C-alpha cells in the first residue's frame, strides 16, 4: 500500500490494559444530507468513532431527518456547509456531480488546503475526465482524493462483517492525503486498495458501470452456438428427410437435448483452446516477451466465465438425459430381447418380436459412467472457481484442479460423446458422418486434446518450458513495438490492449488481491491452463498474466 506517511491525526489512546494505541480520529465533515451522507455518518461514528459534522444547504429544514440521531450517534452535528468545512479535518462531498459546481464554488476558498473526498459515481460512461478530476478542477487548492464510491449506502450502513467486506479503492495525487483516507477507511473497518494518482478515478467510476462485463462474450457465444446447433438439428432430423425422425412431441426434451449437448462441449473446448493457441503463438514468436493479439488477451481473461457457461449447459444436458433414460429413448444402450411366437392357426409363420430389456449393454453403461464422472469432476472444477473455496487451496493445488482436472473433464466428456456416437459414424461413412450430431460435437474437443498432448510431450514441451522461463530464440519475432498515439485531447493512448495507466491499475489490483483473485473478484481465470503464469507479454500481457494466474 505504498506510502508510509505520518498522519498527524493519529491519536494516542490508553487501552484498558494500559497500552498506548494509535487510532485515526479526524473530525469529518460530510456535505450532503442524502442516503449516502447518512450511511457514512453512521459508520464514521459507530465504527471509526469520529466526530462528524453534516453540512447542508438548509440545515434547519434537514433537522427533522437527523432528529434523534445525535442521541444514538454521539458527536454528530448538523450545520451549514461553511460551518461544516471550517470545523472539519476531512470533508467528504456526498452530493451528485451535477451539483458540484453550483454548491461548491462559493466555498472553494474555504476548501483550499483541505482534504476533500469525492465519493460520487456517474450514471453513464464518459470518455475523459472523471468526477473526481472535475471536482479537483473546481477546487484547485484542495487535495482531492477519490474513495468509497464502490461501497453502496447499504453496505456502508451495515457494520457487520459482510458490510465491511467491500474493498475501498483510493486514488489521489497527494500521497499524504491519500494515506489519510486509507487510514480513515481502515478505521471504518474496510480493507483498502491504493490505486495511486487521481487519474485512476476514471477506472474506479467506469468499473461500476460495467454490468457482467466478463460474461457478455461467453453468454453471447454460447447463445450463438446453441442457435446454430438448433438449426442444424432441425435440418437433419426434420427438414432433410422424407419423414421427420421425431414427432413434434419430442422437441422439448429428446431433440433439444442435442443442441444443449453440442453447446456444452463446444464451450468446454473453447475454454481450453486459447491455452493451446497461446502455446502455438509462443513457439512461433520464439519469445514470451511479445504481447498476444487483443482477442487472445480477452479470450484468456474470460475462460472462467466460458467454463461456467459450459457447466450450466452440461448440467442441463445431464438432467435432461437422466430424465429420459429408458430403452425407448436410448434404444442402442439396451439389450434387445427376442421373443418368438410359434406358428398357430392365425399366422402360419413364426413371428419374431424384438423387445427391449431393462438391462443396459456395455455402451449404455459406459456412456453413463463417462458422463457421470465428467459431470462430477466438472463440478469440482467449478466449485474451486468460487473464491472462498479456491482460497483454501495453495497455488499448485488450485492450478492442478483448474488445469489438469479440467483437461480430464474434457477428455471424459469427449469419450462420452465418442462412445455414444462411434457406431453411427461407422455406419454413415464419409461424408455423411458430418451430419452426425455426436461427430460434429467432438471435432473441436479432439483438436484441443491433441494439441494439449503434443505440447505436453517432448520435444515441444521442453521448448515451451524454455520460452516460458525467459529463453529467446535467435531472430525471435518481437512484433511491432507498441506505438503511443496522442489522442485528440492530448492524452496518451496505447495501441495495444491497454494503456500504461491501466497496467498500473491492473498490477495494483492484482497485487492487492488474494493469491488467486483480484480485487474485483472478476478477472480470476478459472479454467487456467497449467502454464498461464507464463502467458506473459510486455505491457498488458504482464498485467494479464498477473490477473489470470494469481
Ligand atoms: N447512495 C449510494 O448508495 C451511493 C452514493 N454515492 C454517491 O454519493 C453521492 C450522494 O448520493 P446520495 O446520498 O444517494 O444522493 P441523495 O440525492 O440522497 O442526496 C444528495 C444530497 O446532496 C445535497 N445537495 C447539495 N447541493 C445540492 C443541490 N444543488 N441540489 C440538490 N442536492 C444538493 C442535498 O443535501 P442538502 O439539500 O441538505 O444540501 C442532498 O441530500 C452521489 O454522488 C452518489 O453518486 C456513492 C456510492 C453509493
Ligand atoms: Fe451426453
Domain 213-468: assigned CATH number: 1.20.120
Q: In angstroms, what is the span from residue 498 Cα to ligand 2's centroid?
A: 41
Grid cell digits, residue 513: 488481491
Q: What are phi and psi of 43, to 5 degrees?
A: -70, -40
| pLDDT recorded at residue 4 | 41
- The C-alpha torsion from 283 through 289 and 291 to 292, rounded to 10°, is 20
Per-residue pLDDT reduced to its tens digit, 315-372? 999 999 999 998 888 888 888 776 677 666 666 677 766 665 578 899 999 999 999 9
Of 62 and 27, which is predicted with more confidence?
27
For the CA of 97, the nearest atom of ligand 1? 43
Q: Which helix (H) or strand (E) holds 111?
A: helix 108-111
pLDDT at 61: 87
Distance of CA 301 to the CA centre of its chain: 8
CB 288, CB 537: distance < 8 Å: yes
Residue 148's region, left for phi above 0, alpha for psi from -120 to 50, else beta, is left
| Residue nearest ligand 1's atom 47 by CA | 149
d(CA 272, CA 51): 55
In angstroms, rounded to a whole number, what is the distance separating the alpha carbons of residues 246 and 255? 8
pTM: 0.70
What local confidence, expressed as pLDDT, does residue 62 receive? 86
Tell how far the Cα of 95 is from the centroid of ligand 1, in angstroms: 3
Select, from the ranges 290-294, 479-483, 489-493, the one with the highest average predicted confidence (pLDDT).
290-294
pLDDT higher than 60, residue 145 = yes
Residue 380: per-residue pLDDT: 96
- What pLDDT, in 10s, does the model give residues 58-68? 998 888 776 66
Confidence check: pLDDT of 495 > 70:
no
Q: Say which residue, 128 or 29, is predicted with more confidence.
A: 29
**The dihedral formed by the CA atoms of 210, 215, 221 and 222, expressed in degrees to the nearest 10:** -140
Q: Is the pLDDT of residue 486 over 70?
A: no
Query: Apex CA 464: angle with CA 461 and CA 466, to 5°?
Result: 110
What is the pLDDT averaged over residues 133-140?
96
Cα(375) to ligand 2 centroid in Å equals 10
Rg value, the chain, Cα: 31
The binding-site residues of ligand 1, defined as CB within 6 angstroms of any ligand atom, are: 32-37, 56-58, 62, 94-96, 99, 102-103, 119-121, 149, 152-153
Ligand 2: centre distance to CA 244 (Å): 22
| Per-residue pLDDT band at 166 (split at 50, 70, 90) | confident
Q: What is the DSSP string of 146-180?
A: E-STTS-HHHHH--STTGGGSEEEEEES-HHHHHH
Shortest-distance atom of ligand 1 to CA 121:
45
* CA 24 – ligand 1 centroid, Å: 26
Under a CB-based contact definition with an 8 Å cutoff, are residues 485 and 351 in contact? no
Per-residue burial over 529-548, b if 16 or more Cβ lie within 10 Å, else e, is bbbbbbbbbbbbbbbbbbbb
How far is the centre of ligand 2, averaged over its atoms, from the C-alpha of 399 (Å)? 27
Distance CA 449, CA 409 (A): 11
In a mutational test of the pocket of ligand 1, which residue from 39, 60, 94 has the highest number of ligand atoms less than 8 Å from its CB? 94
Cβ atoms < 10 Å from Cβ of 169: 27
Distance 86 CA to ligand 1 centre (A): 20
- Sign (positive or negative) of CA dihedral 371, 225, 292, 499: negative
Residue with cell 433414460: 325
Best of 29, 31, 32 for a ligand 1 pocket test (most atoms within 8 Å of beta carbon):
32
pLDDT at 292: 92
**Which ligand minimizes its atom distance to the CA of 41?**
1
Fold category of 10-207 in CATH: Rossmann fold (3.40.50)
Instruction: Give me the percent of the chain exceeding a pLDDT of 70.
Output: 77
Residue 127 has a pLDDT of 72
- Residues 307, 526 contacting (CB under 8 angstroms): yes
If you ran DSSP here, which 8-state letter would residue 313 be given?
Answer: H
Q: Specify the pLDDT at position 19.
A: 53
Gap from CA of 119 to ligand 1 centroid (Å):
10
Q: Of all atoms in ligand 1, which is nearest to the CA of residue 35?
A: 13
* pLDDT tens, residue by residue, 195-215: 999 999 999 999 888 778 899
pLDDT at 67: 65
Cα gap 288→478, rounded to integer Å: 9
Q: For the beta carbon of residue 13, count every other beta carbon within 10 angstroms.
A: 12
Ligand (nearest to CA of 417): 2
Cα 149 to ligand 1 centre (Å): 12
> Within the chain, which residue ranges are assigned CATH 3.40.50.720?
10-207
223 pLDDT more than 50: yes
Mean residue pLDDT of the chain comes to 82
* Residue located nearest, by CA, to atom 38 of ligand 1: 56
Least confident of 13-17, 174-178, 322-326, 456-460: 13-17
- Ligand 1 atom 23: residue of nearest CA: 32
Higher-confidence residue of 42 and 65: namely 42
Q: pLDDT band for position 7 (50/70/90)?
A: very low
Question: In this structure, which ligand is nearest to the CA of 118?
Answer: 1
Q: Which ligand is nearest to the CA of 368?
A: 2
Return the residue whose CA atom lies nearest to atom 29 of ligand 1.
99
Q: Helix 540-549 and helix 294-301: axis angle, to 10°?
A: 10
β-pairing, 76-80 with 143-146?
Answer: unpaired
Query: What is the DSSP pairing of strand 167-172 with strand 191-194?
Result: parallel
d(CA 145, CA 138): 14
Element (H, E) at 27: strand 27-31
End-to-end CA distance of the chain: 18
Kindly state the helix (H) or strand (E) to which residue 396 belongs, with its residue range.
helix 395-399
187's enclosing H/E stretch is helix 175-187
Distance 508 CA to ligand 1 centre (A): 30
pLDDT of residue 257: 97
Q: Which of 266, 320, 312, 268 is nearest to 437 (CA)?
A: 266
CB 84 within 8 A of CB 55: yes
Q: Mapped to the 3 state alphabet, what secondary structure does 462-510 carry?
A: HHHHHHHCCCCCCCCCCCCCCCEEECCCCCEEECCCCCHHHHHHHHHHH
Residue located nearest, by CA, to atom 36 of ligand 1: 56
What's the pLDDT tens digit per position in 370-404? 999 999 999 999 999 887 888 888 988 988 898 89
Strand partners, 337: 355
pLDDT in tens, 509-548: 333 333 333 333 333 332 333 333 333 332 333 333 222 3
What percentage of the chain reaches a pLDDT higher than 90? 61
CA of 209 to the centre of ligand 1 (A): 18
Specify whether the CB–CB gap between 122 and 97 falls below 8 A: yes
Closest ligand 1 atom to residue 57 Cα is 39
Q: Which of 38, 95, 138 to mutate to test the pocket of ligand 1 (most atoms within 8 A of CB)?
A: 95
pLDDT digits (tens, 9 = 90+) for 414-456: 999 999 999 999 998 889 999 999 999 999 999 999 999 999 9
CATH 1.20.120 spans which residues of the chain?
213-468
Q: Which residues pair with 192 in a beta bridge?
A: 168
Contact by Cβ (8 Å): 121, 149: yes
The x, y and z cell numbers of residue 341, run together, are: 411366437
Task: With a cut of 90, say whether residue 113 has pLDDT above it.
Answer: yes
Model confidence at 135: pLDDT above 90: yes
* CA-based max dimension of the chain: 115
Amino acid at each position: 500500500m505504498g506510502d508510509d506517511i505520518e498522519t498527524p491525526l493519529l491519536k494516542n489512546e490508553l487501552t484498558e490494559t494500559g497500552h498506548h494505541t494509535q487510532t485515526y480520529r479526524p473530525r469529518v465533515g460530510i456535505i450532503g444530507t442524502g442516503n449516502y451522507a447518512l450511511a457514512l455518518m453512521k459508520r464514521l461514528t459507530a465504527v471509526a468513532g469520529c466526530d462528524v459534522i453534516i453540512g447542508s444547504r438548509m440545515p434547519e429544514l434537514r433537522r427533522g431527518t437527523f432528529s434523534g440521531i445525535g442521541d444514538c450517534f454521539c458527536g454528530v452535528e448538523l450545520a451549514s456547509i461553511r460551518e461544516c468545512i471550517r470545523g472539519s479535518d476531512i470533508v467528504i462531498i456526498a452530493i451528485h456531480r451535477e451539483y458540484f459546481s453550483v454548491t461548491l464554488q462559493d466555498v472553494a476558498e474555504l476548501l483550499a488546503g483541505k482534504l476533500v473526498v469525492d465519493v460520487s459515481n456517474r450514471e453513464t460512461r464518459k470518455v475523459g475526465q472523471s468526477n473526481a478530476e472535475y471536482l479537483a478542477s473546481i477546487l484547485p487548492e484542495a487535495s482531492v482524493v477519490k474513495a468509497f464510491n464502490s461501497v453502496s449506502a447499504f453496505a456502508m450502513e451495515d457494520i457487520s462483517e459482510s458490510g465491511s467486506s467491500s474493498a475501498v479503492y483510493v486514488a489521489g495525487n497527494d500521497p499524504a492525503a491519500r494515506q489519510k483516507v486509507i487510514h480513515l477507511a481502515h478505521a471504518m473497518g474496510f480493507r483498502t486498495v491504493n490505486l495511486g494518482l487521481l487519474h485512476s478515478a476514471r477506472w474506479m467510476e467506469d468499473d461500476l458501470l460495467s454490468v457482467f462485463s466478463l460474461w457478455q462474450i461467453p453468454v453471447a457465444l454460447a447463445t450463438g452456438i446453441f442457435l446454430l446447433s438448433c438449426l442444424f438439428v432441425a435440418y437433419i432430423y426434420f427438414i432433410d428427410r422424407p419423414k421427420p425422425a421425431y414427432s413434434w412431441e419430442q422437441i422439448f426434451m429428446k431433440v433439444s437435448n442435442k443442441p444443449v449437448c453440442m453447446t456444452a462441449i463446444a464451450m468446454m473446448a473453447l475454454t481450453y483452446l486459447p491455452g493451446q493457441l497461446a502455446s502455438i503463438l509462443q513457439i512461433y514468436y520464439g519469445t514470451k516477451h511479445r504481447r498476444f493479439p487483443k482477442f487472445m488477451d480477452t479470450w484468456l481473461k474470460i475462460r472462467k466465465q466460458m467454463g461456467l457457461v459450459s457447466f450450466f449447459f452440461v448440467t442441463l444436458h445431464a438432467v435432461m438425459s437422466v430424465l429420459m433414460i429408458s430403452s425407448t429413448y436410448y434404444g442402442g444402450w439396451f439389450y434387445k430381447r427376442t421373443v418368438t411366437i410359434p406358428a398357430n392357426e392365425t399366422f402360419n409363420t413364426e413371428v419374431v418380436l424384438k423387445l427391449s430389456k431393462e438391462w443396459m449393454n456395455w455402451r449404455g453403461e459406459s456412456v453413463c459412467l463417462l458422463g457421470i464422472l465428467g459431470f462430477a469432476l466438472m463440478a469440482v472444477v467449478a466449485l474451486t472457481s468460487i473464491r472462498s473455496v479456491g482460497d483454501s487451496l495453495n497455488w499448485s493445488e488450485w492450478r492442478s484442479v483448474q488445469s489438469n482436472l479440467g483437461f480430464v473433464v474434457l477428455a471424459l466428456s469427449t469419450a462420452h460423446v465418442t462412445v455414444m456416437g462411434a457406431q453411427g459414424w461407422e455406419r454413415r461413412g464419409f461424408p455423411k458422418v458430418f451430419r452426425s450430431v455426436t461427430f460434429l460435437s467432438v471435432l473441436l474437443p479432439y483438436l484441443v486434446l491433441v494439441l494439449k498432448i503434443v505440447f505436453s510431450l517432448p520435444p515441444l514441451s521442453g521448448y515451451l518450458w524454455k520460452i516460458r522461463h525467459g529463453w529467446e530464440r535467435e531472430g525471435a519475432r518481437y512484433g511491432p513495438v507498441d506505438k503511443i498515439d496522442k489522442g485528440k485531447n492530448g492524452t496518451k493512448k496505447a495501441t495495444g490492449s491497454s494503456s500504461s495507466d491501466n497496467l498500473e491499475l491492473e498490477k495494483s489490483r492484482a497485487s492487492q488481491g488474494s493469491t488467486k483473485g483480484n480485487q474485483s473478484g472478476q478477472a480470476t481465470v478459472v479454467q487456467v491452463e497449467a502454464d498461464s503464469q507464463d502467458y506473459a507479454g510486455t505491457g498488458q500481457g504482464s498485467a494479464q498474466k498477473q490477473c489470470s494466474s494469481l
